[in-house]
């Protein structure tokens, strides 16, 4: 039988000294049977604590909102956040400086390479946690330069007044016209099919 207990003040102080840093939070210990994998339990507890922390942050945001947010809106926000995290997991994000470095920019301001292409509509980006991030599927792995065919696809969406976030979510969602594949994965290999799918999406917006 598992047992959860709070460490005593002396135990907390001892741990703080071992790690050479002050500890100002309550610490819990867990006794588990030998049949339980400690590493798996540690990961499970970490996810649980993260969930509690996220819930507390969300509760504070809801309390400060001028109106009550309905369940449909919360569900949509959760789905959107899950999509951004999925993009990070599958493709990764690059900062403007990362892109400048990959492209071999020698400018003192290496962020300008990506910033200029963003202004020209040749790249798309999303702002997360105060940082402007570029999903990496937009770039050639070998050179770090934007995939040539990307600009034409972006032009189609910009002409239809799509914003960057909507464009990026379209790129990374399964697409019926592409046999269920996501356009981002086919951009380099089948740009004509991706462009045609983009035209269909923009026309039905």
* More confident: 89 or 144: 89
pLDDT, greater one: 185 or 109: 185
Domain ranges, residue 45: 3-67
Q: What is the largest CA-CA distance in the chain?
A: 68
Q: Is residue 100 part of a domain?
A: yes
- 112 and 52 housed in the same domain: no
3, pLDDT greater than 70: no
Give the C-alpha separation, 57 to 61, whole Å. 6
Give me the mean pLDDT over the 190-204 stretch.
95
Residue 53, domain member (yes or no): yes
Are 47 and 113 contained in the same domain? no
Q: Which stretches within 27-95 are classed as H helix?
A: 38-64, 71-90
Q: Is the pLDDT of residue 41 over 80?
A: no
Q: Which of 93, 89, 101 is nearest to 123 (CA)?
A: 93
Show Cβ contacts of residue 175 under 8 Å, excluding neighbours closer than 6 positions. Answer: 181, 182, 183, 197
Domain for residue 74, yes or no?
no
Look at residue 149 in the predicted model and tell me its pLDDT: 93
């Amino acid at each position: 039988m598992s047992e959860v207990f709070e460490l005593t003040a002396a135990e907390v102080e001892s741990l703080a000294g071992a790690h050479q840093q002050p500890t100002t939070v309550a610490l819990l210990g867990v006794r588990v049977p030998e049949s339980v994998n400690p590493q798996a339990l540690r990961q499970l507890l970490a996810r649980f604590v993260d969930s509690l922390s996220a819930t507390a942050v969300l509760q504070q945001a809801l309390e400060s909102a001028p109106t009550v947010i309905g369940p449909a809106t919360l569900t949509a926000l959760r789905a959107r956040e899950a999509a951004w995290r999925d993009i990070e997991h599958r493709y990764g994000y690059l900062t403007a400086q990362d892109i400048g470095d990959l492209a071999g920019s020698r400018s003192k301001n290496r962020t300008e390479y990506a910033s200029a292409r963003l202004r020209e509509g040749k790249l798309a980006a999303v702002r997360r946690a105060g940082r402007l991030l570029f999903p990496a599927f937009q770039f050639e792995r070998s050179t770090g330069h934007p995939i040539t065919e990307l600009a034409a696809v972006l032009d189609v969406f910009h002409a239809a007044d799509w914003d960057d976030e909507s464009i990026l979510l379209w790129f990374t969602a399964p697409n019926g016209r592409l046999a269920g594949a996501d356009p981002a994965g086919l951009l380099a290999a089948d740009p004509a099919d991706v462009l045609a799918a983009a035209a269909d999406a923009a026309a039905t917006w």
